Amino acid sequence: MKTSKSLNIRDLSFKYISGTGPGLGLVVSKKYGGSVQRNLFKRRCRSVFKTTVIDTKILCSVVVRPNKQAVSLRSINESFALLYNQLLD
């Protein structure tokens, strides 16, 4: 059985397993905000995950959790870019 690795990058926490098919899990509690804010965060993460992981054909499964409320798109992009660099190592 493979074990997952954890990373805290800027405003997001990641747990990932390399070598499996591409997959994304999102954990966003009600403390983050209302349903509109939570769903916006999820849509943004899905979009960035698709461009950084799926389109580059990296095989890993990732679970994302925000560390604070109102995470911006810029912060999500930067966090996923740093995760991408970590996955390539």
Distance (Å) of CA 84 to CA 14, 20, 34, 36: 11, 15, 29, 28
Residue partners of 56: CB distance under 8 A and separation at least 6: 84
Predicted pLDDT of residue 13: 95
Element (H, E) at 40: helix 35-49
pLDDT in tens, 1-14: 578 889 999 899 99
φ/ψ of residue 14, rounded to 5:
-120, 145
Give yes or no for residue 89 having a pLDDT over 90. Answer: no
Record the pTM: 0.88
Mean pLDDT of 65-79: 95
